């Protein structure tokens, strides 16, 4: 296909726009002819004219594009990422005047862009050391928790998922008014939820088996664009051979440090500071702790981002340590009397 040739990006704007339209209108025929391999080539080589919030236009590959609200994206990225001029959305130049006002036509465009994996949420990229071991000190700013590992000298990262757009949206959230935070919190959590479920299910399967077949886990992480909560590390040091371990990703660390979750008391809390309201938790702790207000997301998702879903000693102690008005002795006493 013509689009694979890099020189095609030098064709006139009109030719490139019409070419994309042609592929969209004949996508079924294209897929029937070239199959999944052809679809992957489209995802890798096809380009779109995109614009940022200032209207600056640039030709971008699929992996660099977002679906904008005009194409039916309901995630309100333009609001979440307001002010970020590095974010580019597929330009409306592909839409005719009739299509702009026709819901059915817009839905067809949205479905086409989604099949190509144009992003309707945050763009996630993989960080890896490509099999190379780096000195431990080079990870000092990564917030990885290596304190439980003794005699480590070198670290190999199989894949850590990074997302600058999440960090940007969380910074917008932190500086927002209370009413704005209610909206922003729901939007951010919704995007995370949509992209967490598949990754979480897949991870659960491989977390149980990665030590027996770490190559499969590595292969999955390398090509995943979901919000993975774990990173696979290999360690070398003052011990024989290598060690491996799954640790929280830097993405999960960002979420954990933000008071993003709205509670029934009307306040926002960090994931470790708040609980799911379940009968067995309420029976033990009653109204003495904050509970998640929004019940539209699954318990598994909340657990994945660090929200307490059980009343065990660790979760309650985690919460109590956040209360500045309690001394260490009070925390231990209250913990031992609350959980029996």
Using alpha carbons, select from 161, 301, 300, 165 the residue that is nearest to residue 231.
Answer: 161
Give the pLDDT confidence of 76-124 residue by residue, as tens digits. Answer: 999 999 999 999 999 999 999 999 999 999 999 999 999 999 999 988 7
Alpha carbon 292 to its chain centroid, in Å, reads 20
Total-model pTM: 0.78
Query: What is the predicted pLDDT for the residue at 220?
Result: 45
Q: According to DSSP H, which parts of the chain are helical?
A: 13-25, 27-45, 77-80, 97-100, 103-115, 164-174, 178-207, 214-223, 250-256, 279-285, 299-304, 313-320, 328-338
Binned at pLDDT 50, 70 and 90, residue 174 comes out as: very high
Per-residue pLDDT, 332:
43
Angle between helices 328-338 and 313-320 (to 10 degrees): 150
Q: What is the chain's Cα-based Rg?
A: 23
pLDDT at 213: 45
The answer to whether the beta carbons of residues 243 and 279 sit under 8 Å apart is no
In this prediction, residue 286 carries a pLDDT of 87
DSSP-assigned beta bridge partners for residue 247: 231
How many CB atoms are closer than 10 A to CB 217? Answer: 24
Q: What pLDDT sits at residue 154? A: 80
Of the chain, the percentage scoring pLDDT greater than 90 comes to: 43
Buried b (16+ CB within 10 A) or exposed e, 139-155: beebebebeebeebebb
Task: With cut-offs at 50, 70 and 90, classify the pLDDT of residue 201.
Answer: very low
Predicted local confidence at residue 327, as pLDDT: 45
| pLDDT at residue 129 in the model | 60
Q: Using CA atoms, how far apart are residues 47 and 20, in angstroms rounded to an integer?
A: 8
279 compared with 6, residue with greater pLDDT: 279
The residues, ordered by sequence, that sit 6+ positions from 233 with a Cβ below 8 Å of its Cβ are 144, 155, 156, 157, 158, 244, 245, 246, 247
Identify the pLDDT of residue 335: 39
């Amino acid at each position: 296909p013509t689009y694979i040739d890099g020189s095609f990006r030098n064709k006139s704007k009109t030719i490139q726009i019409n070419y994309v339209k042609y592929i969209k209108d004949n996508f079924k025929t294209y897929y029937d002819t070239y199959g999944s391999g052809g679809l992957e080539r489209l995802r890798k080589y096809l380009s779109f004219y995109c614009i940022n919030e200032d209207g600056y236009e640039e030709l971008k590959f699929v992996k660099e594009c977002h679906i904008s609200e005009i194409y039916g994206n309901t995630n309100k990225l333009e609001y979440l990422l307001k002010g970020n001029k590095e974010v580019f959305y597929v330009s409306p130049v592909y839409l005719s005047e009739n299509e702009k006002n026709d819901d059915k036509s817009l839905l067809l465009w949205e479905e086409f862009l989604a099949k190509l994996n144009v992003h309707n949420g945050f763009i996630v990229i993989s960080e890896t050391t490509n099999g190379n071991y780096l000195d431990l000190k080079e990870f000092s700013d990564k917030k990885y928790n290596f304190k439980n590992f003794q005699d480590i000298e070198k670290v190999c990262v199989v894949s850590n998922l990074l997302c600058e757009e999440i960090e940007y949206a969380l910074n917008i959230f932190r500086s927002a008014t209370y009413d704005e935070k209610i909206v922003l919190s729901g939007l951010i959590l919704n995007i995370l939820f949509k992209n967490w479920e598949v990754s979480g299910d897949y991870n659960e399967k491989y977390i149980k088996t990665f030590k027996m077949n770490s190559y499969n886990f590595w292969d999955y992480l390398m090509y995943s664009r979901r919000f993975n909560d774990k990173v696979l590390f290999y360690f070398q040091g003052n011990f024989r051979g290598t060690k491996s371990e799954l640790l929280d990703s830097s993405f999960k660390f960002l979420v954990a440090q933000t008071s993003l979750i709205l509670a029934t008391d009307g306040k926002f809390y960090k994931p470790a500071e708040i609980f799911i309201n379940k009968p067995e938790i309420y029976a033990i702790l009653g109204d003495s702790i904050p509970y998640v207000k929004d019940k539209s997301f699954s318990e598994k998702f909340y657990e994945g981002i660090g929200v307490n879903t059980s009343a065990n000693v660790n979760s309650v102690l985690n919460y109590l340590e956040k209360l500045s008005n309690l001394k260490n002795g009070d925390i231990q006493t209250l913990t031992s009397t609350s959980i029996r």
